[in-house]
Amino acid sequence: MQSKYKYKKTAGALQEAYDLPEESFEELASFERMSSVQSQMAPMRSADAPAEAFRTAESTGTFNVTDLRRESVRAQSTTVPAPESSTRSRHAGLDPHWQNHGGRSMFFYTVEDGKRVQMVSNDGRMKVIDGPARVWRWGRSFRPMQHFVAHPSEFLIVRYRDGRQEHLQGPAHVWLDSREHQDIGKEDALPIADKEAVVVYSEGEDNSVTRRIVHGPATFVPRPGEWLHTFSWHGNVGGRKVPGALEFQKLWLLGDQMYHDVPDVRTSDDAVLTIRLMIFFELVDIEKMLVSTHDPIGDFLNAATSDVVDFVGRHTFESFKHNTERLNDVTTYKQLHSRGEGIGYTINRVVYRGYGAKASLEQMHDQAIESRTRLLLEKATEQQAQELEDLKLERQIGRGQQQRTDRASEARAEIELSKLHDVAARERDLVQRAFVREQAQLDAVQRDEIERARAIREREKLASLGEMGVDLTRYLTHDRPDRVFELRGDGAHAAHLHLPPSQS
């Protein structure tokens, strides 16, 4: 059976998430040289021998140099797999219960239920007999027919003796009839998830070839004369980008990313650096990609390298360190963006992950950093001491001002309080005087009223006594004069009235 229907079911995702240290590269290179000599002396391993599983950083998220060693030896000592034999392909999908085990006798041949046989007569004619059946076997021979089955997500490839070919998508089954069929095989259909696509080529009757794109989600079953485009791009092998290392048939339409290290980049003052980037991209136009490039990853690597070389070459080492943030700016990578648009990709973002340099440059750089850090620390210490002195002086000045302000506030408060006390005393004195006056007036009024009432009662009493004929003068004096006034004179002189001193 043709091997073009053996599909790669994984999509072309880069799945890169690690950096390999430089010492690991050196150790790997020395080991590869040693293992290459050993592999020439060791016998080649059989293609059918089980290969040791290689757990890469793409699947585990961690990187181990031992894994690289193991994979290097395996890749150098493994022969190219031989094409699958036609016998194995022919028996793919064969029902294990196809053979007829019905009872045989001298005169009759029994076909079991669910089985088929071809009955061949002496004259060469053939007839298909479906079980259950019991036929006369004299002068006849019987050949059990093979039964091929395809389940869901599988399909049968039926090749006819007249050159035709038919693909039957499962669930399906076919009995191999040697009069019509050349062979029958089973293959797995190719599942296509969402945001995945395959490129299908079809050969027409006039030998013309057309191309179509099948997008997921779908299960792809090729029609006769169709095959899938197999992409061979740059891939990550041992932390390095190797041409043709990434082979796949399903395109990934989701956003993807890859790590890219640009080695041996020189600044304007001849410092040699390695710039580490992460490139985020997305496939948006498959047709443009197919007609514009055969390896987009290689194009990205070349364009990004050109942009980095151009950027670093315009700066000295010190200037480069002060402008590394521009390596995160998408406008720095003009050729990368231009090439991405030209091949149907969108460059979403480029992330600068740092730089590496030679040991001598790194040592000089570390010493310069140490010196600058020491000076900065001394400057910071002295500045903090000066700031502490300034703070103390400012606090003392502020404390004195606050004390003066507090004393002035206390004096103002005392003055205000004294004023308030004086005002309150005056107000109390005024209120007291007003109260005294008011009380005196009330007392005078009350005395007048009492005297008036007494005088009225006295007049009424005297009036009543007068009406009763009482001599009021005698009553009032009680025959005793209250006072005696003596008037003396001799006739010749004027009389003089003498009053007692108390009456004068």
Q: Model confidence over 94-103: pLDDT tens digits?
A: 888 888 787 6
State residue 486's pLDDT score.
62
Mean pLDDT of the 411-415 span: 90
State residue 305's pLDDT score.
94
> Backbone phi, then psi, for 36, in 5-degree steps?
-65, -35
Tokens representing residue 126 in the block: 């053939």
Q: Which residue, 98, 102, 240, is CA-closest to 174?
A: 98
Kindly report, residue by residue over 258-304, the tens digit of the pLDDT: 899 999 898 888 888 899 999 999 999 999 999 999 999 999 999 99
58 or 412, greater pLDDT: 412
Distance (Å) of CA 485 to CA 227, 253, 500: 171, 151, 9
Rounded CA-CA distance 165/143 in Å is 24
351 or 477, greater pLDDT: 351
Q: Which residue, 298, 307, 292, 294, is CA-closest to 337?
A: 307
pLDDT band, residue 474 (cuts 50/70/90): confident
pLDDT band, residue 33 (cuts 50/70/90): low
485: Cβ contacts below 8 Å, ≥ 6 apart = 497, 499
DSSP assignment string, 147-171: EEEE-TTEEEEEEETTS-EEEEESS
Ordered alpha helix ranges (H), 16-56: 22-41
Provide the CB-side half-sphere exposure for 351 (13 A, CA): 8
Q: 3-class DSSP state for residue 251? A: strand
Rounded CA-CA distance 58/75 in Å is 18
Residue 132: cis peptide before it, omega within 30 degrees of 0: yes
- pTM (global) more than 0.85: no
Res. 88: pLDDT tops 80: no
Dihedral of alpha carbons 284, 287, 290, 293, sign: negative
Rounded CA-CA distance 237/244 in Å is 10
State residue 496's pLDDT score.
62
Kindly report, residue by residue over 111-161, the tens digit of the pLDDT: 888 889 989 998 889 999 888 888 888 888 888 999 999 999 999 999 999
